[in-house]
Amino acid sequence: MIENDNIRFREEMKARLKKFVIDLIRFCQRLPHTQEANIFKNQLLRSGSSVYANYRAACRARSKAEFFSKLSIVVEEADETEMWLDLLIDSKISDTTEAKHLHQESLEILRIMASARKNTKF
């Protein structure tokens, strides 16, 4: 039963992270075409997509140590994604409802991933 719950959780997280990245892409497409916004777009898309890519890699880990290592990268990239969204909002480049929603989602993802890493037993 626990194994089925883990599989379900992993699949739900993959779907949630994929949606998050797609939402980030669409959000970035609507950002202004300024030098500052372009820097934010590039960094945000790199870190946001890395969360998803590294989570998928963690799910395919060959050992608990490898899982922990990949999950640590996920946590770092989720934290960076949250930071870029926070800066976008606070700098007023984009303080829209959409930006705030993405920021909130990034915080939730960060909390979930940090908790998963903390609960990983070797």
Distance CA 102, CA 6 (A): 26
Measure the CA–CA gap between 44 and 48, rounded to whole angstroms: 6
Query: What's this model's pTM, rounded to 2 decimal places?
Result: 0.93
Cα separation, 81 vs 43, whole angstroms: 8
pLDDT number for residue 4: 82
Mean pLDDT by 10 residues, the chain (122 residues): 82 98 98 96 98 97 95 98 98 97 98 94 72
3-state secondary structure 3-53: HHHHHHHHHHHHHHHHHHHHHHHHHHHCCCCCHHHHHHHHHHHHHHHHHHH
| Other residues' Cβ atoms within 10 Å of the Cβ of residue 8 | 10
Q: What SS3 state is found at 63? A: coil
> Cα separation of 3 and 101, whole Å?
32
Instruction: State the fold for domain 2-118.
Output: de novo design (two linked rop proteins) (1.20.1440)
Burial annotation 81-110 (CB, 10 A radius, 16+ → b, else e): bbebbeebbeeebbeeeebeebbebbbebb
pLDDT attached to residue 6: 86
